[in-house]
Amino acid sequence: ETGVTQSPTHLIKTRGQQVTLRCSSQSGHNTVSWYQQALGQGPQFIFQYYREEENGRGNFPPRFSGLQFPNYSSELNVNALELDDSALYLCASSALGGRVGNEQFFGPGTRLTVL
């Protein structure tokens, strides 16, 4: 059984650019959630994908968007990058069909730096 993987590990972009982050969920998990963690803070919920559709969203603007594929892997896209988007982006998977009842399995994260 493979765990949650994310790519790339690190990324440097400039303000105004667009970025795509990728996540492969743990085997058998059909729900993927994305979180943003600023330095020194706890993670904040961006959105969740279940059955290839957005299934819940936190307080993030529309320039944060995502996709889920039939194999349950997911992408996070951020357009028009701002300096404040610099953060660790975490992907988490679960097998509860759009609900977070038990533990979430987190990937190692992608560190995004916006210059």
Partner 1 sequence: SQQGEEDPQALSIQEGENATMNCSYKTSINNLQWYRQNSGRGLVHLILIRSNEREKHSGRLRVTLDTSKKSSSLLITASRAADTASYFCATVSVDTGRRALTFGSGTRLQVQP
Binders of partner 1 in range 29-48 (CB under 8 A): 33, 35, 37, 39, 41-45, 48
Q: Which of 103, 92, 63, 88 is nearest to 11 (CA)?
A: 88
CA gap 87, 11 in Å, rounded: 10
Which of 67/88 has CB closer to partner 1? Answer: 88
Which of 16/61 has CB closer to partner 1? Answer: 61
- Residue 67 binds partner 1 (CB under 8 A): no
CA gap 55, 57 in Å, rounded: 7
- Residue 66 binds partner 1 (CB under 8 A): no
Contacts of 29 (CB under 8 A, 6+ apart): 4, 72, 93, 94, 95, 105
- Residue 98 binds partner 1 (CB under 8 A): yes
- Residue ranges that bind partner 1, judged by CB under 8 A: 4, 33, 35, 37, 39, 41-45, 48, 55-56, 58-59, 88, 90, 92, 98-109, 111
